[in-house]
Structure 1
Amino acid sequence: MASPIKPEPGRGGAPQRDAELRQACNEYLDMLRHARRLSPRTLTNYRRDLEDLQTRAQSHELPLAGITPHHIRTWVAALHGGGMTPRAIAARLSGWRGLFTWLGQHGRLPSNPVQDVRAPRAARPLPKALSVDQAVALASYAPAADTPEASTPAGPLARARGRAIAELLYSSGLRVSELVGLDMRYTRTAEHESAGWVDWDACEVTVLGKGGKRRTVPVGAPALQALRDWLALRPSASPASVASDQAALFLGPRGRRISPQRVWEELRARARAAGLPTAVHPHMLRHSFASHLLQSSGDLRGVQELLGHASIASTQIYTRLDFQHLAKVYDTAHPRAKKPR
């Protein structure tokens, strides 16, 4: 049985208002253990959160029904000011909210004071992007002729596919799901209609992005040449491809449309072979595309359109990357940038 929340020592018998909240918390913990069968560790977390709630209510001499959204917001501010992370505050609020919801369902409270209270928003981590030199090195990497990779039978095919994938991801900022869905050209048959395709004359790709939104983005000359080099070898990769994969731009080792997981694996291997000091994934090339384009153009709206972001807020995070780049340039080059020792 879950350990009950004990009265605060040294109070000489808790007043009725304290006993009511303590009893409600104990009954709720008992329900979580028996009805919801939560693990002992989870129950411990709930008990800690409810003990904190009881302590705060006691410090304000509040009965159970006297706790209001104003009190909850004040306590959240205190938690935040005390250094608790937004994620931990959200977890604590969830524990409190669950108690008051349960009490309301049983007719013991008229409203839930935690219902519309939210934890402070956590800072969004900056996306990881490669430097321009690293991105170019990854896209253009080719093993020396005397390396094991170059001498394997699948070497030329895998190298051409890997280069075309890296070049296209960096050139056009595609998501990996958009890349694997590409066909060599627009195709519409009874069995298959292209979700995305290459327009070779216009030097563009059209993709189906998040929310079913279609967009068209340009493809640079190096990426187009890498795609043509891949297409020259592609027939040897699809001797037994099924009808649904015959239109696919990229085929995996078994002659089927390449999977996102395979793209991840090949890109990581390519980055290691190219000597990059960081683990590379497909979305990192999308971040690099956006960051480098914004550094050069400063056109936030244009980058938003190319990425297919529904909200400009999603694109604005790259301005922070751009500022970091400028700050590094300043620290390196400006004669007055030296920080005092």
Structure 2
Amino acid sequence: AGAPMKTIGLRSAVLAFLDSLSVRYARRPRTVQTYRTALGRFLEYLSALGVDPDQGAVSDLDPILVRDFVTFLEGRYREAGRMLPASTRQTYLAALVGWVNFLLDEGLWELPAEEARRLLRDLRAQRGRPSPPLPRLPREEALSALLQAARSRPSSRSLRKELIRLRDMALLLVLRSSGIRVGELVALRRGDFDPVQGLLWVRHGKGGKERLAFLDAAAVQALQAYLQARDGSARGKAVDHRPLFARHDKGAGDQTRPMTPEGVRRALWALAREAGLAETLTPHQFRHYFATRVLEATGDLAAVQDLLGHASPTTTRRYARVSPKRLQAVHRQAFERPESPAEDREEQ
């Protein structure tokens, strides 16, 4: 006889899976939180069907209930007059597939091999592979208006307000010329900035990867002005470990605390209001702008992939689809070249 199957409750099994994502697989906190939300909804769904997540055991879980979860979600969205977003479907099913695989691998759910394969196959089939939405590029006018708003802020006798003014200018120029993610930006330390070579060392990229990000002269100058005003002539290892972009709101007090992604978004919102913009540019739109600008200037998708830190060229190719200048150049090359006499005769 084989080893007895481990018995575990449904909620406990979800918590064990989430712990394994952090500890064993080193998944990013944001991914773990997304899966936590998705599986929390799954447990709510079981409760609505009369299955108590705290009392029910994984060993008693009916595969049909797992398979029908997305159908249940679609019904709830329809009742509210909406469609289940494709991204939500993908995320919830990814979490569910990961959890089922965890249960099977750990021997917590004893399903016949063929039934387990069929369940996973059905879940993956429900995910589908819809094309991700095209990147939304910021208008050049909106970007210029944001920069003008930052430049128009008057110098202030208040050190806190002056630091915010200098920081936000540097923030805009760094986002525009580096193409880094907002999560990467707020993780930067002073020691990651090399003003001589005009680069940033991104040590906390997506998937734990490291890479270099490059800055133009305007971004380097603005960043140096901000850091000089903030930290003066301080030097040493302690300074190198300080955040590159810090909070200067009253809640930060006298400590040098790093900005958060939400803090970066709020800074952009404030500038958008000052610029009189109806739309607010997000940090990720600056990344889209950067990618498209580099692609239009070089036509080199491989270089864009490396600069953005993309693991797959498929992700980068999306920018080739939203670069109107590049497409127009290709069109002109095809249709505005002089036609040869032979071609004229063929058309006649």
Query: Shared fold by TM > 0.5?
Result: yes
Q: Point out the more displaced range, 151-160 or 281-290.
A: 151-160
Q: Tell whether 2:180 aligns with 1:174.
A: yes
Contact preservation (8 Å) 2:265, 2:282: yes
Give the secondary structure class of the aligned counterpart of 1:216.
strand
> Which of residues 135, 147, 155 is equivalent to 1:127?
135
Tell me which residue corresponds to 1:306: 307
Contact preservation (8 Å) 1:141, 1:163: no
Give the secondary structure class of the aligned counterpart of 1:124.
coil
The amino acid that maps onto 2:165 is R
CA deviations on 1:150-180 (whole Å, 9 max, x unpaired) are: 6866332211000001100111011122222
1:1-341 equivalences under 5 Å are 32-36=49-53, 46=68, 49=71, 113-117=118-122, 118-119=125-126, 120-142=128-150, 144=152, 154-185=160-191, 197-208=192-203, 209-235=205-231, 247-253=242-248, 254=252, 255-260=255-260, 261-323=262-324, 326=327
Q: Name the Cα RMSD after superposition.
A: 4.4
Contact preservation (8 Å) 1:303, 1:315: yes
Return the offset for 1:228: 1.8
Contact preservation (8 Å) 1:145, 1:151: no
C-alpha change, 1:284 and 1:84, in structure 2 (3 Å) is closer
C-alpha change, 1:132 and 1:295, in structure 2 (3 Å) is farther
TM-score, normalization by structure 2: 0.56
Structure 1 stretches lacking a partner, 5+ long: 1-28, 51-82, 186-196, 335-341
Q: How many residues align?
A: 242
Choose between structure 1 and 2: higher helix proportion: 2
TM-score, normalization by structure 1: 0.57
CA deviations on 1:19-62 (whole Å, 9 max, x unpaired) are: xxxxxxxxxx9994134489xxxx9x959959xxxxxxxxxxxx
Give the secondary structure class of the aligned counterpart of 1:278.
coil
Distance 2:173 2:193 in 1: 14
Distance 1:152 1:202 in 2: 32
Q: Point out the more displaced range, 116-125 or 297-306.
A: 116-125
Distance 1:207 1:285 in 2: 17
The amino acid that maps onto 1:168 is V
Identity %: 31
CA deviations on 1:64-121 (whole Å, 9 max, x unpaired) are: xxxxxxxxxxxxxxxxxxx9986798789x8xxx9xx9xx9677x8676453241331
Distance 1:86 1:293 in 2: 30
Structure 2 stretches lacking a partner, 5+ long: 1-45, 57-64, 73-82, 336-348
